[in-house]
Chains A and B, each alone.
Chain A
Amino acid sequence: MGTNASQLEKEIGLEFPPNERFFGLANFGNTCYSNSVLQALYFCKPFREKVLEYKAKNKRPKETLLSCLADLFYTIATQKKKVGSIAPKKFIARLRKEKEEFDNYLQQDAHEFLNFLINRINEIIIAERQAHLQKQKPNAENVNDSKSQEPTWVHEIFQGILTSETRCLNCEMVSSKDEDFLDLQVDIDQNTSITHCLRCFSNMEMLCGDNKFKCDNCCSYQEAQKRMRVKKLPVILALHLKRFKYMEQFNRHIKVSHRVVFPLELRLFNTSDDAVNPDRLYDLVAVVIHCGSGPNRGHYISIVKSHGFWLLFDDDMVDKIDASAIEDFYGLTSNVQKSSETGYILFYQSKDCN
């Protein structure tokens, strides 16, 4: 480990960015799902900044998952050494306390963990905000006032808006409904690009059979066409590639190792007509990678971009990699079931947020 760390420092050499730390995270028995996501989030700059800001503002907080995360990020950011590894002991202990499903030594789904973490952090911020408001105005009865409804920094970073437009095939009325999202979960096809998968995400879908649309105009269930397009593009666009498919004939989830290429830059083609910034340009900043043949086995690692170069975090190991090595994580072109190292969650960060 030590030799690895100093080698990394040597390799990066003079271009080692000031005030940057590259620290691996020790594995406490199948905690790579957490380690890989934490590293990815650490290198999503807007997120890291907000977490460190939280740490600075809350000197003696009650222990929450957020306070543990803030401590962890702070510990990494204030290390004397530039490279090395640390053990996220407190964070994992807290995680196991907070969610029963994670309180074991089994492999967990990195996306489920990301989803849980982001939502939990958001809840904590809202809860603390309400507690704060209550302290300021102890007599106010309605704490759910506008102030506590304001978006949190979690929303500001990850939240986008999807517009679902539904056209009733009976009365031709188009109704649209907005919904928030913190990440997009996309189906994947063999030998495609993430661009294509996102286009398909917004393909027109028929609502028929058991899935008819309740048309307010017709006051009845009708056949309809529906499509979901992005109306508000988030600062950090997290894309979850649905690589674990339930196969009835096997009665379990099977990993789909399809080759899905993802570019270092991205824009969205599937924006709605009223989207505010439809040409928003994103940079790929981090990828959580699943290695192995199935959802409940295998390993998670992550690659992140920092100051123009790419690093691979594999639990406590950190390596500098060439950008051209990213193509190793696109997936397999043949459909043979074998172990693969494939991009699983992609983090794209808006270029205009710096």
Chain B
Amino acid sequence: MINSSNGMMSASSSSSAAGAGGNAPSPGLKTYFKAPEGRYKLHYEKGHPSGLMHYVQGKTATQATVAIVKDKPSPPTPLSQPSSGFSASSGVKSAAAKLLGGSNGSRTFGFVGGNGGSKNLSGSSKLGPFSSNSTNSNLASNFDGKGTYLIFNMGDGLFISDLNSQDKEPMKAIYFNNVYPVCHAFDQDAKDGHDLLIGLSTGDVYSVSLGQQLQDSGKKLVGAQHYNKDGSVNNSRCTCISWVPGGDGAFVVAHADGNMYVYEKSKEGAGDSSFPAIKDPTQFSIAHARHSKSNPITRWHTCQGSINGIAFSSDGTHLATVGRDGYLRVFDYPKEELICGGKSYYGALLCCAWSADGKYILAGGEDDLVQIWSMDDKKVVAWGEGHNSWVSGVAFDSSWSPPDTENSEQTVYRFGSVGQDTQLLLWDLQMEEIVVPQRRPPGGSPTFSSGSQTAQWDNATPLGTLQSAPSMRDIPKISPLVIHRVHTEPLSGLIFTEESILTVCREGHTKVWMRPGTPASQGSSNSETPLSTSLKDKPLLSSIK
């Protein structure tokens, strides 16, 4: 137990020393942290190739995406694989689950973490037994630790690591020669092979097959479909990219100039893709391509200034954006309408994420706050105070379930946030327990009411109006459960997976923190143990309430 984590630590120290320019090993960074549910342990670290030093001062912050490849080029059968340290019981379980998942073809659980926006592309395990089973099937197909990949950008490179291997260096590097890949997204349910999207600093966008990249031995992108070639439609930097959940190959690219474009991957990138000039840049506007062959098909002008983060609700009906102007905006995606939104306390918003049930949105930014936006109340219902610098990544942990679910009335959400303060914070959101400082009635003294009453004193705001920044004295504050300094460099994102929390720093390093109760966190000295076995102690339907 101690051996394995010590080994991890020394490996990490020496490698981060190399990454930080020959500096001393990072002092005071622990390889575990405690949460109410137990210890999270540093399991793996992923970095870029060590020769990439000159990019450390680069202008791009690393984003990371977890890709679970369902159909590998040559899937080995679980039982015939002479794998090491792999228990038979879980093998049988995996095989069974694989059968189930394969036969009904249900969507599997996936995570795509952009700039902190960890987006749950398909239904979460909260949906019911089917999706939980298929989650398992998904892991079954990864049983050999080769089906889950970490994709991240750094400088002019895009790197792919095997998430479940000990190797720190990526298995694959793709270079773009002086243009920077800045964002990416993966869709494991992609039908025709192109499952990976890459947005560049030039505004160009590629779709490719991840599997094809892994099979190729070169350092260039292969078999790519190219959109917005040389920035012909929009030459401002891509900031974030996302598949439309259930969108049949449609995807959205957000740019640094406040525009967002919808593409269809089945269409050629060429053709007349001109859009009418934006009449009033201060107003939200939608424009459809004049030409039927155009790709992109739609332009969303959302704001002035950069769009810093986008996130689809898991069912694809809502799209949230955050930007340089400090506003969170929530759109009805199919209807192309602005529903609601509001301003940060001050400064830009940098990241956003939805709860799996679509009821809450987290947004973090330059006011050091994690704001919790309620879709029922259409306003900020709480501020998370605890970061010492800008909040660069937020995500709900949809695999987490409260230890005591006897009281079914209470809904508890677990979420995490990372910041430029190099810290990971974990939070519990329990709306019923939030004390709201009530607005002072004329002449009265401040009284307090519970959060469930908040809707009473806020009249319904008209559709599509953006709220100004709230007053400090009106917003309830919550404090984090866990504060843990995870890296030496400012962080750029976090991703929750079934087994772990991934923290990503701007300079291209990712740390994988195993959840309590998983073999790795229990200190298995055999680091070859496949992660998929970790599920055996985990109730499959844990999130169902």
Contacts and interface: CB of A to CB of B under 8 A. Distances in A.
Q: Is this pair of chains taken from one and the same complex?
A: yes
Interface of A: 189, 191-193, 195-196, 259, 261, 263-267, 269, 271, 278-279, 281-282, 333-336
Contact of B21 (A264, A265, A336): A336
B492 to A, nearest CB: 13
A271 B345 CA distance: 15
B422 A193 contact: no
Contacts of B490: 191, 259, 333
Given A333-B488, A334-B488, A264 B348 contact: yes
Contacts of A281: 346, 469
Contact of B390 (A193, A269, A282, A336): A193
A271 to B, nearest CB: 8
Contacts of A192: 388-389, 421
Nearest 9 interchain pairs by C-beta:
A263-B347, A263-B366, A265-B346, A193-B389, A196-B388, A192-B388, A267-B346, A265-B347, A195-B368
Contacts, number: 71
A193 B23 contact: no
Contact of B347 (A189, A266, A279, A336): A266
B421 A191 contact: yes
A261 B316 CA distance: 35
B2 interface: no
B472 interface: yes
Nearest to A267: B346
Contacts of B147: none
Contacts of B421: 191-193, 196
Nearest to A278: B472
Contacts of A191: 388-389, 420-422, 490
Contacts of B20: 334
Interface in B343-365: 345-348
B513 to A, nearest CB: 19
B249 interface: no
Contact of B489 (A193, A279, A333): A333
Interface string B450-493: 00000000000000000001011100000000000000111000
Nearest to B391: A193
B346 A263 contact: yes
B19 to A, nearest CB: 10
A266 to B, nearest CB: 6
26 contacts: A192-B389, A192-B421, A193-B368, A195-B368, A196-B387, A196-B421, A259-B420, A261-B389, A261-B390, A261-B420, A263-B346, A263-B347, A263-B390, A264-B348, A265-B326, A265-B366, A266-B346, A271-B472, A278-B471, A278-B472, A279-B469, A279-B471, A281-B346, A333-B488, A333-B489, A335-B23
Interface of B: 20-21, 23, 326, 345-348, 366-368, 387-390, 420-422, 469, 471-473, 488-490
A335 B348 CA distance: 27
A23 B337 CA distance: 47
A256 to B, nearest CB: 16
Contacts of A261: 366, 389-390, 420
Nearest to B306: A324
Nearest to B59: A324
User: Which of B389, B471, B488 is packed against the most chain A CB atoms within 10 Å?
Assistant: B389
Given A279-B472, A333-B489, A334-B488, A193 B346 contact: no
A336 B488 CA distance: 13
B389 A263 contact: no
Nearest to B345: A267
A266 B20 CA distance: 31
A267 B420 CA distance: 19
A205 B388 CA distance: 19
Nearest to A281: B346
Contacts of B489: 333
Contacts of A271: 472
A61 B367 CA distance: 46
A200 B87 CA distance: 52
Contacts of A196: 368, 387-389, 421
Contacts of A334: 20-21, 23, 488
A192 B423 CA distance: 11
Given A263-B367, A334-B23, 4 more contacts: A191-B420, A193-B366, A261-B390, A264-B366
B457 to A, nearest CB: 19
Contact of B348 (A189, A195, A263): A263
A189 B388 contact: yes
A99 to B, nearest CB: 37
Nearest to B305: A323
A269 to B, nearest CB: 7
Contacts of A263: 346-348, 366-367, 390
B180 to A, nearest CB: 13
A259 to B, nearest CB: 7
A267 B473 CA distance: 13
A268 B472 CA distance: 10
Contacts of B469: 279, 281
B472 A195 contact: no
A193 B422 CA distance: 12
Contacts of B473: 278
A266 B367 CA distance: 8
Contacts of B488: 333-334
A259 B222 CA distance: 39
A49 B490 CA distance: 40
User: Which of B23, B387, B420 is packed against the most chain A CB atoms within 10 Å?
Assistant: B420
A269 B475 CA distance: 13
Nearest to B347: A263
A271 B390 CA distance: 20
A259 B388 CA distance: 12
Nearest to B507: A333
Contacts of B420: 191, 193, 259, 261
A266 B347 CA distance: 7
A265 to B, nearest CB: 4
Nearest to B423: A191
B339 to A, nearest CB: 25
Contacts of B367: 195, 263, 267
